[in-house]
Chains A and B, each alone.
Chain A
Amino acid sequence: SALTQPPSASGSPGQSVTISCTGTNSDVGGYNFVSWYQQHPGQAPKLIIYEVVKRPSGVPDRFSGSKSGKTASLTVSGLQAEDEADYYCSSYAGANNYLFGTGTKVTVL
């Protein structure tokens, strides 16, 4: 089943927002292979965090990831208007399987 994320999160420009992604010891808690994606309406998802804390080239350092036990988190600092999007986490779940999170809609107030 899917990893659990809050349906929505919001913040004013310049503020920070943190999104959680909760799984089990068989996925998030068992592997450091957690990724985060940003998806704007009508577009494909874009990788913003991989291996829990790493950022692909070109992704601003305003985006950061962490993990504690069975919960991974994505923090967006210094919120900007263009950060308004849907965010999904994903984790390796063993036996060549992957899970995605339920998705979180971030609104910039």
Chain B
Amino acid sequence: VQLVESGGGLVKPGGSLRLSCVSSGFSFTDYYMGWVRQAPGKGLEWVSYISSTAGTISYADSVKGRFTISRDNANNALYLQMNNLRAEDTAVYYCVAHDKPNPPHYWGQGTLVTVSS
């Protein structure tokens, strides 16, 4: 099983960034997918979740209205569009796969997003 994130980097407050995650080694369409983040030196925070067919999407209150999750089942890909970024969004963002309704089962290695002027 592999989940490989990309798209992280340094962005100014108010800016945008799009994270991508490509998966392999498991049946992508059998799993709900999501994102979990971890601020430097802090704990884990669930961010967002999308069902197999994208019929169910959920966000943490801290990102609702600013982040958009999507998936491309043909290419085993997951995305997170992050707009109006704030300093408190600085974190390592992990792509995760849920064997719903369980919490995340598989994890990627993470991509660092830094929001700073």
Residues of B within 8 A of A (CB): 36, 43-46, 49, 56, 58, 60, 94, 99, 101-110
Contact = CB atoms under 8 A, between A and B. Distances in A.
B103 A92 contact: yes
Given A46-B107, A98-B49, A103 B44 contact: yes
A53 to B, nearest CB: 13
A88 B37 CA distance: 13
A102 B43 contact: yes
A33 B94 contact: no
A64 to B, nearest CB: 17
Contacts of B45: 100
Given A96-B49, A96-B56, A97-B58, A45 B44 contact: yes
A21 B46 CA distance: 16
